């Protein structure tokens, strides 16, 4: 290991070990110690401490969001990869759609910030499943608690993978074995300090979402407003980017392998945070600044709609403006088309869109 990489590793360890998310007046006042660059990996203790100290008190939303409902989320990927250099820092919200964007830009490190603690727990579930899976087919077997069908290989398309698993019934014994394996990995091997409620909620996410519905899992609201059909997990993984090319994180073995490696190095950090809150986004920005890096991509989904409704958009804008950005730093947004129209995705300049909020 070279001197530069050793400095990065030591700097990362010091940053995570000593950093405190102390906030006064909406501003982080205890900075992260400087690092030579973004770390190559985090220890289990660093990962957990960083997630914990960047997190804010959890909130609620009108859905559990086990899965995205944005059927056009891949259409921005061709332009995104032309704007953003690989190897940067990614920030996002929500569940699995982040994996597709992270793999597309080959992010070096990612923070997933969501107001729901359930989203953090779902990402820990994904982390454990990815770490334990040899390939995409093995991952889907674990995710949906279904025995792996014969004939699947590294060259199988996403459509072939999902067609095979839709033909196989879920196995309760496999679900129980996988759940036990996941919890052993998170609590014993990684040593994450999950509460009893966390453990119960991970089981609920795994059982109610992935075991019960399998590849047909769809987005559902918890307020009873569920008119209209949403895309299934299988559909979200097998749609294309508008040019006929599939770019989901399960479309190719290389994309899944890239994500699995990030997870094994503890480089996808889930955080409980309000975009209009005082700690999470400010803390991420300060971490990135102390590493001499920039935030390259921020996937917002349609959260800005709720921030404006709740009078928090200006605070969110100031939070983003405080981050280290450059001219290529890019927002990914989703906008509802209303009714049965679903969502359309678009890109925006983080620097230009928040320039008026800089302090």
- Bridge-partner residues for 333, per DSSP? 301, 346
- Spell out the residues 6+ positions from residue 165 whose beta carbon is closer than 8 angstroms to its own: 140, 141, 144, 146, 149, 214, 215
- Across the range 62-91, mean pLDDT stands at 90
Give the model confidence (pLDDT) of 344-353 as tens digits. 999 999 999 9
- Is the pLDDT score of 292 beyond 60? yes
Give me the chain's average pLDDT, please.
Answer: 88
- Is the pLDDT score of 21 beyond 80? no
Residue 268: enclosing H or E segment and its boundaries?
A: strand 268-272
Q: How far apart are CA 90 and CA 108, in angstroms?
A: 8
- Across the range 188-206, mean pLDDT stands at 97
- Is the pLDDT score of 233 beyond 60? yes
Alpha helices in 167-302 (DSSP H): 172-183, 196-204, 212-213, 233-238, 253-264, 280-290
Q: How far apart are CA 154 and CA 190, in angstroms?
A: 28
178 burial level (CB within 10 Å; 0-12, 13-18, 19+) = buried
- Is the pLDDT score of 324 beyond 60? yes
- Bridge-partner residues for 336, per DSSP? 343
Give the model confidence (pLDDT) of 158-172 as tens digits. 999 999 999 999 999
Higher pLDDT, 318 or 22: 318
- Across the range 312-335, mean pLDDT stands at 96
- Across the range 36-41, mean pLDDT stands at 90
- Across the range 325-344, mean pLDDT stands at 83
- Is the pLDDT score of 309 beyond 70? yes
- Is the pLDDT score of 230 beyond 90? no
Q: What is the pLDDT of residue 340?
A: 47
Query: Tokens at residue 351, please?
Result: 């620097």
Which CA distances in Å does 13 have to 38, 46, 186, 194? Answer: 11, 7, 20, 22
- Is the pLDDT score of 203 beyond 90? yes
Query: Tokens at residue 290, please?
Result: 């102390």
Give the model confidence (pLDDT) of 80-130 as tens digits. 999 999 999 999 999 999 999 999 999 999 999 999 999 999 999 999 999
| Euclidean distance between the first and the last CA atom of the chain, given in angstroms as a whole number | 40
Predicted confidence band of residue 199 (pLDDT cuts 50, 70, 90): very high
- Across the range 313-341, mean pLDDT stands at 89
Q: What is the pLDDT of residue 26?
A: 40
Q: What is the pLDDT of residue 63?
A: 56
Q: How far apart are CA 131 and CA 264, in angstroms?
A: 6
Torsion of CA 294, 115, 299, 275, to 10 degrees: -60
Q: pTM of the predicted model, to two decimals?
A: 0.89
Q: Which bin fits 219, alpha (ψ -120 to 50), beta or left (φ > 0)?
A: beta
151 burial level (CB within 10 Å; 0-12, 13-18, 19+) = exposed
Give the model confidence (pLDDT) of 131-161 as tens digits. 999 999 999 999 999 999 999 999 999 999 9
């Amino acid at each position: 290991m070279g001197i530069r990489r050793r400095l990065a590793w030591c700097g990362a360890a010091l940053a995570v070990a000593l950093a405190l998310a102390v906030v006064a007046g909406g501003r982080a006042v205890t900075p992260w110690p400087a690092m030579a660059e973004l770390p190559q990996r985090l220890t289990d203790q660093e990962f957990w401490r960083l997630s914990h100290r960047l997190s804010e008190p959890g909130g609620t939303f009108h859905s559990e969001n086990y899965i995205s409902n944005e059927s056009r989320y891949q259409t921005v990927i061709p332009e995104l990869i032309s704007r953003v250099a690989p190897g940067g820092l990614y920030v996002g919200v929500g569940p699995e759609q982040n994996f597709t964007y992270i793999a597309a830009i080959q992010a070096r490190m990612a923070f997933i910030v969501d107001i729901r603690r359930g989203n953090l727990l779902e990402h820990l579930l994904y982390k454990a499943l990815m770490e334990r899976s040899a390939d995409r087919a093995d991952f889907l077997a674990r995710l949906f608690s279904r025995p792996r069908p014969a004939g699947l290989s590294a060259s199988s398309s996403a459509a072939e993978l999902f067609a095979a698993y839709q033909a196989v019934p879920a196995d309760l014994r496999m679900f129980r074995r996988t759940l036990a394996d996941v919890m052993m990995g998170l609590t014993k091997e990684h040593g994450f300090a999950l509460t009893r409620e966390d453990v119960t909620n991970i089981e609920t996410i795994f059982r109610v979402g992935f075991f019960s519905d399998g590849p047909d899992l769809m987005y559902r609201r918890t307020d009873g407003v569920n008119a209209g059909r949403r895309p299934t997990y299988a559909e979200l993984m097998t749609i294309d980017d508008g040019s006929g090319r599939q770019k989901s994180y399960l479309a190719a073995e290389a994309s899944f392998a890239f994500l699995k490696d990030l997870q094994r190095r503890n480089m996808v950090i889930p955080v409980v945070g309000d975009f209009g809150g005082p700690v999470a986004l400010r803390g991420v920005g300060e971490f990135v600044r102390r590493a001499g890096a920039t935030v390259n991509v921020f996937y917002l989904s349609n959260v800005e709609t709720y921030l404006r409704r709740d009078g928090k958009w200006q605070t969110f804008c100031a939070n983003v403006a405080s981050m280290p950005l450059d001219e290529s730093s890019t927002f990914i947004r989703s906008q509802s088309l209303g009714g049965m129209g679903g969502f359309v995705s678009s890109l925006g300049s983080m620097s230009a869109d928040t320039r008026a909020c800089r302090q």
